[in-house]
């Protein structure tokens, strides 16, 4: 199952809001101004109108970007471009982490890892050799054993490894992989914290 990026999630939410407003515009009961989404637009995007006819006209002409601005302001940002920049920066940071998350310098190089030029070669090795985990580092695949998993901060006996088929690149269970990633990130954050200084005598 493909993971939807945070940016795409916001775009989908904005599209749903726009669709909801278009459906509300078909209602002639006079309740348009009290519609929850319209009230949100008035509060956060500055949508204003003196009467129902003018409100309808402005809602019909409201561009999709205004719905993104609404979501951005409700999330604490000035507008959609500001939120978009933050989301892209976060995605780049996540990509950087994902690129190197399974390799720990000054530790991993001492383990007996088996490297492969392609995923297919690595997968074939995994299928015929017990006790290995199929991992990835900067686009290359390698097979590692339990000591490597411990070195990077994870438990090699974590049931989620079996749930993903010990295959990080093409996991059987993407949710189990995400749980492992979350644990790995927490382990890295803990390792990066400065050690407490001993109390003075």
Q: With beta carbons less than 8 A apart as the criterion, state whether 17 and 67 touch.
A: yes
Same domain, yes or no, for 45 and 73? Answer: yes
Size (the chain), residues? 201
Same domain, yes or no, for 133 and 182? Answer: yes
Is position 47 within any domain?
Answer: yes
pLDDT of residue 48: 83
Q: Which of 162, 159, 93 is nearest to 134 (CA)?
A: 162
Q: Name residues whose C-beta falls within 8 Å of residue 44's C-beta, 6 or more positions apart in sequence.
A: 69, 70, 73, 74
Last residue of a domain, one of 97, 122, 152: 97
Is position 29 within any domain?
Answer: yes
Same domain, yes or no, for 89 and 140? Answer: no
Same domain, yes or no, for 110 and 173? Answer: yes
Range of the domain at 89: 6-97
Same domain, yes or no, for 68 and 126? Answer: no
pLDDT of residue 201: 47
Is position 183 within any domain?
Answer: yes
Same domain, yes or no, for 93 and 124? Answer: no
Task: For the full predicted model, state whether its pTM sits above 0.95.
Answer: no
Same domain, yes or no, for 128 and 177? Answer: yes
Number of domains observed in the structure of the chain: 2
Taking each helix axis from N to C end, the angle separating 6-25 and 64-74, rounded to the nearest 10 degrees, works out to 120
Is position 70 within any domain?
Answer: yes
Is position 121 within any domain?
Answer: yes
pLDDT of residue 110: 52
pLDDT of residue 86: 84
Q: With beta carbons less than 8 A apart as the criterion, state whether 11 and 83 touch.
A: no
Mean pLDDT by 10 residues, the chain (201 residues): 72 92 84 88 85 88 92 92 83 55 59 83 94 86 91 93 94 90 84 56 47
Q: Which of 48, 68, 51, 61 is nearest to 22 (CA)?
A: 61
Same domain, yes or no, for 108 and 160? Answer: yes
Last residue of a domain, one of 78, 97, 116: 97
**DSSP result, 62-101:** --HHHHHHHHHHHTT-SSHHHHHHHHHHHHHHHHHHHHHT
């Amino acid at each position: 199952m493909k993971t939807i990026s945070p940016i795409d999630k916001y775009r989908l939410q904005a599209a749903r809001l726009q669709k909801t407003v278009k459906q509300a515009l078909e209602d002639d009961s006079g309740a348009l101004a009290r519609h929850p989404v319209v009230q949100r637009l008035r509060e956060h995007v500055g949508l204003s109108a003196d009467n129902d006819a003018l409100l309808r006209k402005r809602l019909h002409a409201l561009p999709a970007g205004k719905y993104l601005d609404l979501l951005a302001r409700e999330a604490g940002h000035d507008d959609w471009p500001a939120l978009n920049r933050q989301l892209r920066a976060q995605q780049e940071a996540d990509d950087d982490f994902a690129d190197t998350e399974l390799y720990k310098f000054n530790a991993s190089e001492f383990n007996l890892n088996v490297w492969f030029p392609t995923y297919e070669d690595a997968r074939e090795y995994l299928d015929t050799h017990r006790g290995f985990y199929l991992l990835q580092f900067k686009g290359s695949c390698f097979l590692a054993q339990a000591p490597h998993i411990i070195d990077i901060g994870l438990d090699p006996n974590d049931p989620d490894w079996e749930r993903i088929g010990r295959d990080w690149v093409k996991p059987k269970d993407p949710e189990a992989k995400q749980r492992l990633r979350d644990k790995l990130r927490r382990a890295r954050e803990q390792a990066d914290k400065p050690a407490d200084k001993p109390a003075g005598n």
